[in-house]
C-alpha cells in the first residue's frame, strides 16, 4: 500500500508540474500569436485607411476641377487688377498733363516765356511717365502709344516769340491741339478703369462662390473618410477580440491536466466507497436521520 501511495504521489507531482508547464507555455504561445496577429491586423487597417484617403472618388474629381477653376479665375483677376492699376496711373499722369497745358495757356496770354518753358518741361516729363498698355479685351485702345510717339506737338517759347500776338496765337493753337488730344484719350482711360473694376468684382464673386463650394466638398469628403476610418478601426478591434477568445480556449487542456493531478483520496473502507458514491458518511447520515431526512448510509449504521 505504501508503494502505491508513493507512486501515486510521484504521478501526482508529475501531472502538477506538467499542468504548470503547459499552462505557462500555452500562455506564452498565445501571447506571441496574439502579437503577430495584432501586428498583421493593424498593418491591414493602415493599408485600408490609406486606400480610403487616396480613392479617386467623384467628389475628389469635382474638388480638383473646382480648384482648377479657382486658380484660373485668380489668374484673370490678377491680370485685371494689374491693368486697372496701370490705367489708374495713366489717368493721374493725364490729369497732370491737362493741368500743365492749362498753365501753358496762362503763360502764353501773359507772354511769360520762362514760365512757358518750365511748364512745358513738366508736361513732357509727364508724357514720358505714361504707361503703354496693350489693347486686350475687354478694354478699348487708349491711344497712349500714339501720344508718346508724336509727343504733345508744342515747341519751346523761342520758337513762338511770345512777345508778339502772332507768336502767342501760334503757341495757343499748338497747346489747344494738345488739350484736345488729351481730352480724347482721357475718357478711354477712365472707361477702362471702371470696366476693370466691374470685371474684378465679378471675378471676385465667382471665386468666393467656388471657394465656398470647394470648402463644402472638402468637409463632406473629410466626414466620409472619418466615418469609414472609424468603421474599419472598429472592425479590426472586433477581429482582434475574436482571435483573443479563440486562443483563450487553449487553457482548457491545462485545466484538465490540473484536475488529473489532484484526484479525490483513495477509499480505505467500504464506507469510503459508498460515501464517495453517494456523497455522505455514516456521521452525516445519522445527522440527517435525526433531523428527519432519510439517508442511504443509515442502513449501514
pLDDT confidence bin for 284, thresholds 50/70/90: low
In this predicted structure, what is the pLDDT of residue 138?
Answer: 86
> Is residue 138 reached through a cis peptide bond, with omega within 30 degrees of 0 on the bond before it?
yes
Average pLDDT value for residue range 137-146: 89
State yes or no: pLDDT of 269 exceeds 50: yes
Q: In whole angstroms, how far apart are CA 135 and each of 139, 145, 167, 227, 267?
A: 6, 10, 39, 54, 119
- Report in angstroms the alpha-carbon separations of 291 from 17, 142, 223, 271, 279: 45, 127, 74, 21, 18
Instruction: Tell me how far the alpha carbon of residue 127 is from its chain's centroid.
Output: 51
pLDDT digits (tens, 9 = 90+) for 164-189: 999 999 999 999 999 999 999 999 99
pLDDT confidence of 125, banded at 50, 70, 90? Answer: very high
Strand ranges, E, within 96-209: none
| Distance in Å from the first CA to the final CA of the chain | 28
Mean pLDDT of 16-45: 66
DSSP code for 297: G
At 74 the pLDDT is 95
pLDDT of residue 15: 55
Tens digits of residue pLDDT in 54-88: 664 556 788 888 999 999 999 999 999 999 999 99
pLDDT at 42: 74
Q: Are 73 and 210 in contact (CB under 8 A)?
A: yes
Nearest to 103 by CA among 179, 28, 19: 179
Q: Is residue 101 helix, strand or coil?
A: helix
> For position 45, what pLDDT does the model report?
72
Provide the percentage of residues in the chain whose pLDDT is more than 70. Answer: 61
On whether the CB atoms of residues 101 and 172 are closer than 8 A, the answer is: no
pLDDT at 183: 94
Task: Please tell me the distance from the alpha carbon of residue 117 to that of residue 264, in angstroms, as a whole number.
Answer: 133
Give the least confident one: 7-16, 22-31, 137-146, 201-210. Answer: 7-16
Residue 160 has pLDDT above 90, yes or no: yes
Q: What is the reported pLDDT for 3?
A: 42
Across the chain, what does the average pLDDT equal?
Answer: 77
Interval 193-220 mean pLDDT: 91
∠ CA 229-232-233, rounded to 5° = 85
- d(C-alpha 56, C-alpha 215), whole Å: 18
Q: Are 153 and 177 in contact (CB under 8 A)?
A: yes
The pLDDT of residue 75: 94
53-58 long-range contacts (CB < 8 A, ≥24 apart) are: 53/225, 57/221
Structural domains in the chain? 59-230 (1.20.1330.10), 267-301 (no CATH)
Q: How does pLDDT run across 210-266, given as a tens digit for each residue?
A: 999 988 888 876 666 677 677 777 776 776 666 666 665 555 445 555 555 566 665
Between 298 and 184, the more confident residue is: 184
What is the band of 299 on the pLDDT scale with cuts at 50, 70, 90? very low
pLDDT > 90? residue 89: yes
* 185, 145 Cβ separation under 8 angstroms: no
Q: Please, how many CA atoms are within 13 Å of residue 102, restricted to the half-sphere of its CB?
A: 7
User: In terms of Cα–Cα distance, which of 94, 114, 113 is closest to 179?
Assistant: 94
pLDDT band at 7 (very low <50, low <70, confident <90, very high): very low
pTM of the model: 0.56
More confident residue, 209 or 53: 209
Amino acid at each position: 500500500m505504501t508503494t502505491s501511495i508513493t507512486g501515486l504521489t510521484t504521478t501526482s507531482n508529475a501531472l502538477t508540474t506538467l499542468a504548470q508547464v503547459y499552462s505557462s507555455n500555452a500562455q506564452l504561445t498565445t501571447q506571441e500569436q496574439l502579437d503577430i496577429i495584432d501586428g498583421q491586423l493593424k498593418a491591414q487597417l493602415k493599408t485600408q485607411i490609406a486606400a480610403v484617403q487616396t480613392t479617386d472618388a467623384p467628389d475628389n474629381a469635382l474638388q480638383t476641377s473646382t480648384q482648377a477653376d479657382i486658380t484660373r479665375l485668380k489668374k484673370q483677376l490678377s491680370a485685371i487688377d494689374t491693368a486697372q492699376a496701370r490705367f489708374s496711373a495713366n489717368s493721374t499722369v493725364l490729369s497732370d498733363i491737362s493741368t500743365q497745358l492749362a498753365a501753358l495757356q496762362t503763360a502764353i496770354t501773359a507772354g511769360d516765356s520762362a514760365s512757358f518753358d518750365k511748364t512745358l518741361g513738366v508736361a513732357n516729363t509727364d508724357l514720358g511717365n505714361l504707361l503703354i498698355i496693350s489693347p486686350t479685351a475687354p478694354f478699348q485702345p487708349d491711344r497712349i502709344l500714339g501720344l508718346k510717339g508724336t509727343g504733345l506737338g508744342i515747341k519751346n517759347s523761342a520758337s513762338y516769340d511770345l512777345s508778339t500776338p502772332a507768336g502767342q496765337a501760334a503757341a495757343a493753337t499748338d497747346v489747344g491741339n494738345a488739350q484736345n488730344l488729351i481730352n480724347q484719350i482721357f475718357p478711354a482711360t477712365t472707361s477702362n478703369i471702371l470696366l476693370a473694376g466691374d470685371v474684378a468684382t465679378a471675378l471676385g464673386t465667382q471665386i468666393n462662390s467656388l471657394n465656398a463650394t470647394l470648402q463644402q466638398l472638402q468637409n463632406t469628403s473629410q466626414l466620409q473618410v472619418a466615418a469609414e476610418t472609424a468603421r474599419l478601426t472598429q472592425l479590426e478591434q472586433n477581429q482582434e477580440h475574436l482571435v483573443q477568445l479563440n486562443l483563450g480556449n487553449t487553457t482548457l487542456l491545462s485545466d484538465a491536466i490540473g484536475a488529473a493531478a489532484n484526484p479525490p483520496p483513495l477509499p480505505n473502507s467500504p464506507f469510503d466507497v459508498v460515501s464517495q458514491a453517494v456523497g455522505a458518511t455514516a456521521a452525516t447520515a445519522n445527522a440527517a436521520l435525526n433531523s428527519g431526512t432519510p439517508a442511504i448510509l443509515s442502513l449501514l449504521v
